[in-house]
C-alpha cells in the first residue's frame, strides 16, 4: 500500500509562500494514500490558473489542460479507463467562469470523478482581477470602483443541477479537507468539493483570518442530515455559502457509467478495439 510520501515527486511548487493550494495538494496526497490507492491508480487533471499547476506536483497520472476544460478531459479519462480514480482540479475562475458550462453538465451527468475547486475569490495567475466569486464592491484592477456584479454561489448551483455529492472546506483545516476528499473519491458519482484557498498576494480581503471569522462548520450541528437536499439548500442560504463540511450526498443515484447501456465493466483502455476485416468492410459499405 502506497504511503503519503509516494504521491510526492521532485517538482517543487512555485506557488506564493502561504498559498492555500499547498494544503489542497497535501490533502489529495494524504487522501489517496488513506483509501489505499497506488500512484498509477490516480489521475489528476487540472485547468489554467495557479491551481492548474497542481497536476504536475503529484506523483500520479497528470494532465495540465486548457482554461476551463479540465472537466471534459477528466470525463474522457474516466470513460476510457473506469478503473482509474480521477480528480479534476482548478480555481474559481477556471470552473465558475469560462468553464461553468462544463461544470453544470458534469454535475448533472454524474460521472464518477471528483472535482476540487480552489476558491480564492480572485484571478491570481493573471495578477489580481475580479472573479465570479468576488463579492459586490470588491476592488481589483478590473473593477477599480468596486464590482457591481452579484457573487456566484456554486453550492446552490450544484444542488440545483442535481449534484449527488457537495462539500466545502477551508485549506487551513487539513483534517477535514482530507476527510472530505477521501469521501468524494469513494462516492459513486460526481463529487464537487469547493475549497476556500486564500490568495495571499492579490486578495487582501478574503484572508485566512477573514475566513476563520466567517466560516460556519457543519460539525457544530450534530442534527444536520446531509442526505436532505432541501435542508442542504436552506443551510447554504442561511450561512451565505460560508459553511464547511459534507453538505449533501445522494448515495442512491447511479453514476453515468453504471447507467450507460453497453458500457462494460472492463476499462476501454484494456479492451481489444481492433476491427476484423469483416467488420471493417461492413462499415465501409455503409458509405457506398
pLDDT in tens for each of the 288 residues of the chain? 789 899 999 999 999 999 999 999 999 999 999 999 999 999 999 999 999 999 999 999 999 999 899 999 999 999 999 999 999 999 999 999 999 999 999 999 999 999 999 999 999 988 999 999 999 999 998 999 999 999 999 999 999 999 999 999 999 999 999 999 999 999 999 999 999 999 999 999 999 999 999 999 999 999 999 999 999 999 999 999 999 999 999 999 999 999 999 888 888 878 888 899 999 999 999 998
Adjacent-strand bridge partners of 42:
85
Question: How far is it, in rounded angstroms, from Cα 120 to Cα 157?
Answer: 18
Give the closest residue to 118 by CA, choosing from 17, 236, 28.
28
Query: Under a CB-based contact definition with an 8 Å cutoff, are residues 82 and 258 in contact?
Result: no
Question: How far is it, in rounded angstroms, from Cα 9 to Cα 11?
Answer: 6
- Topology adopted by domain 4-285: Rossmann fold (3.40.50)
Q: Which three cell numbers stand for residue 13?
A: 511548487
Q: How many CB atoms lie within 10 A of CB 40?
A: 11
Read off the pTM: 0.94
In this prediction, residue 93 carries a pLDDT of: 92
In this prediction, residue 87 carries a pLDDT of: 98
What is the residue whose three cell numbers read 480572485? Answer: 122
In this prediction, residue 266 carries a pLDDT of: 86
End-to-end CA distance of the chain: 55
In this prediction, residue 185 carries a pLDDT of: 98
Query: Under a CB-based contact definition with an 8 Å cutoff, are residues 161 and 152 in contact?
Result: no
The burial class, CB within 10 Å (0-12 / 13-18 / 19+), for 50 is: buried
Amino acid at each position: 500500500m502506497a504511503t503519503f510520501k509516494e504521491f510526492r515527486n521532485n517538482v517543487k511548487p512555485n506557488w506564493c509562500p502561504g498559498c492555500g493550494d499547498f494544503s489542497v495538494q497535501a490533502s489529495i496526497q494524504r487522501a489517496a494514500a488513506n483509501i489505499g490507492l497506488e500512484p498509477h491508480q490516480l489521475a489528476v487533471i487540472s485547468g489554467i490558473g495557479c491551481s492548474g499547476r497542481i497536476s504536475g506536483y503529484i506523483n500520479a497520472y497528470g494532465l495540465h489542460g486548457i482554461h476551463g476544460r479540465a472537466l471534459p478531459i477528466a470525463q474522457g479519462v474516466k470513460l476510457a479507463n473506469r478503473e482509474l480514480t480521477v480528480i479534476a482540479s482548478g480555481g474559481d475562475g477556471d470552473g465558475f467562469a469560462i468553464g461553468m458550462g462544463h461544470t453544470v453538465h458534469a454535475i448533472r451527468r454524474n460521472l464518477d470523478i471528483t472535482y476540487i475547486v480552489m476558491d480564492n475569490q480572485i484571478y491570481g495567475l493573471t495578477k489580481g482581477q475580479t472573479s465570479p466569486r468576488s463579492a459586490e464592491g470588491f476592488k481589483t484592477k478590473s473593477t477599480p470602483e468596486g464590482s457591481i456584479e452579484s457573487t456566484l454561489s456554486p453550492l446552490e448551483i450544484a444542488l440545483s443541477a442535481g449534484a449527488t455529492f457537495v462539500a466545502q472546506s477551508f485549506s487551513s483545516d487539513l483534517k477535514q479537507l482530507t476527510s472530505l476528499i477521501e469521501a468524494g473519491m469513494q462516492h459513486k458519482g460526481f463529487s464537487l468539493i469547493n475549497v476556500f484557498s486564500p490568495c495571499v498576494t492579490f486578495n487582501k480581503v478574503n484572508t485566512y483570518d477573514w475566513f476563520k471569522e466567517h466560516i460556519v462548520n457543519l460539525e457544530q450541528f450534530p442534527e444536520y442530515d446531509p442526505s436532505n437536499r432541501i435542508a442542504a439548500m436552506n443551510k447554504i442560504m442561511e450561512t451565505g455559502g460560508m459553511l464547511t463540511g459534507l453538505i449533501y450526498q445522494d448515495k442512491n443515484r447511479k453514476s453515468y457509467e453504471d447507467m450507460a447501456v453497453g458500457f462494460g465493466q472492463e476499462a476501454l483502455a484494456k479492451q481489444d478495439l481492433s476491427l476484423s476485416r469483416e467488420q471493417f468492410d461492413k462499415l465501409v459499405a455503409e458509405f457506398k
